[in-house]
Structure 1
Amino acid sequence: MMISNNSKIVLILGANSDVAKQCILQYVEKGFSVIASSRNLKSLEDFINENKIDSTKISLHHFDATDFSSHQNFYDELPSKPHIVIYAAGLLVENQQALQDFEGTFEMMKVNYSGAVSILNIIAMDKFNKNLERIIGLSSLSGVRGRKSNFIYGSTKSAFTQYLAGLRQELASRKIVVNVLVSGYINTKINEGLELNKNLLMEPNYVAKHIVNAGNSFSIVPNFKWKLIYYILKILPESLVAKLP
């Protein structure tokens, strides 16, 4: 599939997530062209066919966040350099498993943090790409404070958020905006099987709308309930955080 060069280009890294797929639909509807990248291209092809997405508006490319040595070639071979980049790749290993299985923990670190830094550094440092205007990373409320139920996953998201904060400062002089999506529970496959409060669950299309309509503020926290939880978590004394699950 080849995309038309008549519209702005959005590169989605880790485009197989439920939120990323909704971003594809919403960006195309707004007139953007999308470069969707993932390890599982078959799933993306099925999604494109099911939703009858115009093939001139989307291009599929294999991307493995954990294969750092492939990232430069991946970027060099893109059909067009992007205006907007979204890092949506993510992996969740439950905390008790992560505590006992470093291989799983390391894979989570590579997908959620190291792989993001590897590819986003390449993209951000390409000063020949005059198109680049925005980078958005998908983080998590789990990265706001360390909690005993998910601190290993949360640490990868916390590191990613801090990286994006510094990258925002680095790119400010080039007028490139960097945002971080700090989300709570989303009704996605990554959370299947987890016991979550259904009153706090957000739908992927709702979260995607906040990404597609990102403004200039660094943090994007969808849903007023999660905004409240976000601010409470940030100011809560350590003695009270320790009592949380």
Structure 2
Amino acid sequence: MNLKVKLNNILFLDIETVPQEEHWSSVSKEMQTLFEKKTQYQRKEEFTAEEFYERAGIWAEFGKIICISAGYFVEVEGRNQLRITSFFGDDEHKILVDFKNLLNKHFSKASNVLCAHNGKEFDFPFIARRMIVHQIELPKKLNLFGKKPWEVPHLDTLELWKFGDYKHYTSLKLLTSILGIPSPKDDIDGSEVAGVYYKEKNIERIVTYCEKDTIAVAQVLLRFNNENLLEAKDIISVN
């Protein structure tokens, strides 16, 4: 694709989200009614709002972020090295503040961009909406008000793969498979995250899954640019 963005100017990321409450009965009556109205077209008549609540994590109004994994490139002895860090836990406010601090300290330059798979439709707006809910001032990279489309500092590997075909959707798992990239979905998938979080209470498993997605997005962008894929020794955790 001959992308003009330098690798070390990109922050790759992925988020994991869950419903704000484990059980429907813990949701206030007002929010239950609002959730029922919000999801009526997705549910149709196949599910009640209560049955559908396990999917509430995909909406920022009813879900919350439990993990943000971020990756960035550095060059070490002539090789690209991807460094991965994650913000996670039960305190969504702290996760968001810590992520904002990362953006402000290290990725606030005009040349810096954020990159995720389906990030423009999900990750970026979800993070921004949850920051507003928590009364956290948006960092520049997420505040898009008044920006022209070409001024938005976001890359989306799904959008790049569409090549202008807006009817086309390709999952990250499918994309990594056809491009010969190790699959990030070798343990759990997004539909299982809420169960792992609330029932297993295994946040470490979710963090590992989230980091694998972040690594996969970076690998996809390398393939788009006809560059060598990362080897295991090139991926470093800096948590």
The answer to whether the superposition gives a TM-score over 0.5 is no
Give the alignment's TM-score, normalised by structure 2.
0.31
Higher helix share: 1
Give the alignment's TM-score, normalised by structure 1.
0.30
